[in-house]
Structure 1
Amino acid sequence: MRQLVPVFLVGFVIVAALGFYYQISAGKESDLTSARRQLALNADVASLKLSADVLASSADWQGELARSMPLSATREGRVVLLSDAEGSIQARVPIGSDYQGNLLTVLGPGQP
């Protein structure tokens, strides 16, 4: 019996560690899925409100972007950028964010 106690203890620690790892990885995957879903919903709402006709007829891209975004779009430090066809950032939400220049330099070359 004395020889089984260390074996059971090591087995318990291994099972607990595996359970802990599984919980952390499942939570991370759930958070990433939720973030992707929220980003897609925000993009869909903005694209429905921001059509090419609206942007072509308006010189105020900043105002149009601000009006098209749901209130939850900039929670948790998120920033929304609107660029033209060449990639130059024309508008940003929140307005005080420092993102300027080309979208490729902001996001990096690894982004699609």
Structure 2
Amino acid sequence: MADTFVPLRLDQAQMTADLERLPSTAAVELGRLLRLVEQHGGIPVSRLRRCDPEGRDGTRLPNCLKVYVPEGENKWGLVAVVVAHPERPFGLRVLAYGIRHPTGTTPSVYQLAHRRLHAAGPAS
């Protein structure tokens, strides 16, 4: 069965800021994912996973989905919020890209996404 693709919108300046905190391999893997998105007009539904609406770390990510980068690995993640799309049932707006479960004081991708989601107000 063919995969369905969901449109993905991201803020280039925000992605640049996220990548500045990460090793170059994270940028390479994100580039691979974005080429797939460009080639197919979106991200495959099969790559999307639901974020916990309320995380143990105090994050609140309702209506958010995550993508493991690279696929099937636990290192980095992309977190996006579901938004309206004019031609599809829905689209995704990327909130953050980063380390999923860091050690030390580095914020996780979920913490970054939480801050951005709640600073922006209601998603549109």
TM-score, normalized by the shorter chain, greater than 0.5: no
Q: TM-score, normalised by structure 1?
A: 0.30
**Which structure carries more relative contact order (alpha carbon 8 Å, separation 6+)?**
2
Q: Which protein is richer in strand relative to its size?
A: 2
Q: Which protein is richer in helix relative to its size?
A: 1
